[in-house]
Structure 1
Amino acid sequence: MSIQNVAADDLQAAISAALAGVQDPEIHRPITELGMVEQVSVAPDGATRVRVLLTVAGCPMRDKLTTDVTAAVSAVPGVSSVAVELGVMSDAQRTELRTKLRGDNPVNEIPFAKPGSPTRVYAVASGKGGVGKSSVTVNLAVALARRGLQVGVLDADIYGFSVPRMLGVTGKPTQVEKMIMPPQAHGVKVISIGMFTPGNTAVVWRGPMLHRALQQFLSDVYWGELDVLLMDLPPGTGDIAISLAQLVPSAELLVVTTPQLAAREVAERAGSIALQTHQQIIGVVENMSWLELPDGSRMELFGAGGGQAVADSLSASTGTRVGLLGQVPIEVAIREGGDNGTPLVLSQPDSPAGRAFDAIADTLAARQRSLVGRPLGLSVAAR
């Protein structure tokens, strides 16, 4: 073999190694592993052409993929120029890709319901609307992602969806085979019915359709290997809460309330559903606890002690220890973050509310997954 051939082989290997470091923006796996690199050709002068196969023709991440491939290959010594050509996978190639990602598991199987699932599923619940449940969900999700965890948010509030705006998600899901690829914002994967409805159209569905939508979000969406899945439930104890208990029995409830007596009473009812569904309650978050004034004093606009009272009541009714995970003060920046898609834990992490969210996230990140539904690995001794 000539010296020129050795040099060409070395350059080709270096380019292949560089491409292995490029991840698909939606699937977050190397494009070489996913079979997306169809061809690499290198001219004697170092001019390189890379043909990359998109999963679908209308892939919203095509520009980012082109940029990432160009940057990675351009950094290889000996490459003089890079041209990226985009193609589209065939049906057979997409089927092969789905098999790589999901194995031989049935398409409609819910991975989080399997006994060996490592994902901790937290259902964020409240007894009534207006207590800031969605604000708590998105801020905790981003705070957990900042700790290096793989986090997903399922907006299960079908009628009152708000998570896409609050997380600043502008992209739409794409479909590969029978898998839905969720958009991502601030390191968090997100799915919501709001991504499938035109404009601000209302969703008018009855119970069976709500159950089916939740089932699809859990089974058809390719979430990848999540550490935590947060589910923003609608207020109350209706169809979605019951469906969740059926679809993911190991999901644990996180109850959100305000100090107000009326909110406290309905929050207790929301938490008590765990008695009927046999779910664990991981704790209570008290939101809108107080307003900090310029002189350092606190104005308790909605009263005081509601969160602890809910935790105590749920502890007594369930016979387990339900703790108060944290108290989040009222801050204008929480509302502003929800409106502009930049959660408070990113814009003002050192604010009192930011520190409160971080402390709750620390508690959730440190928790071991529940044993509910998991094999304990016990053996029975011979008699």
Structure 2
Amino acid sequence: MQILINAASAHMGGAVTYLQNVLRRLPEQAAVHRVIVYVPEGTTEVLPNRPEVDVRPYPYSSTQGPSRLYFDQVRMPRIAAREKVDVLLSATGFGTVWSPAPQVLLVRNMKYFDPRFEEKYRALGRSFLKTRLRRWHSLLSIGAADAVLFPTRAMEETVGTYVALGGTPTRALHYGYDGSSFTATGEAGDAVPDALRPHAVGEGPLLLNVSTYAVHKNLEALIEALPHLLDHYPTLTLATTTSREQTSDIDEYDALKERAATLGVADAWVELGYVPHAELPPVYRAADAYVFPSFTESFGHSMVEALACGLPVVAADTAVNREVCAEAGVYFAPFDSTDCARAVRRVLDDDVRRAKQRRAAVRRAGHFSWKRYTEDLAEVFQQTAAGG
């Protein structure tokens, strides 16, 4: 089979992690002989270099608006027909309304479908019109697809409240993680950033969150929890990979920084900024607990990486987070900072519980595998191609 992948908006984060791992393993499947993938020009440099994978730059400067619509609805069908591909994978939630090849759609953005995200936007006084249009576009894409994939069953159920999925083959396929890098073993202090080095050798509890700043990441709950935690652990530090340069929610980010200063916790919050993915494993291993306060996500790559590194995970109580972490997680009410602090303390206060959570984390991580994911993905491709 020849597979064409439209990943026109895969600039960073989970979308790029997904492509790196899928393109590394998909050609190993016997049924897949060639993969053509379109990505933003900057992403072409970080994808695997394999003879079976033809990486091509998305040809326009903007991945939104009229140029993106033209690419998805006009250029993609022409490319699929010219290349005589067997399956088109639309990997960013927006598909081609008419495709000459059977189309598999990956729906991966929960923000468009979670009512809590709309409530949060309205509370901030921000317009939800653009997000509502994207939801409509994604629903239209679902209707045009021959098969639809979701990262979690919880997301599939959420989308199912907006559109009937009974007439289209659907599957919830969990992503994987790099099992050769993200492990519970290793010398945590060897390659950690200088700001974390004291904690890597035991100086005070270290909490970690790996993400860019965005409204739905709900870092406000975590910052508001810090005063409660510092009362019990005066040397506690929170490390995040956030930075002002890597967010589009500038106003909310600035307000969060001001709130941290007002609460007197600014010195306890270390912003590492962007950390290359290959350099993250020792950062995870330096921490005592991983905190994931996002109130809406489709999956949560960083939670799985934290589990694989043997970290107890403290997460907002959502259906997706429970599906990912299961019994390896400790959960708190998403917008309750006091409950967040209470959940973190349940992990930090009890050495026996923390050791038990570490073992549960490693066991749970074994559930996730990019090898298994690409095997299932190739199976979906075969079934979709056979269906015409």
TM-score interval, normalised by the smaller of the two chains = 0.3 to 0.5
Q: TM-score, normalised by structure 2?
A: 0.37
Q: TM-score, normalised by structure 1?
A: 0.37
Larger Rg: 1
Of Structure 1 and Structure 2, the greater helix share is in 2
Of Structure 1 and Structure 2, the greater strand share is in 1
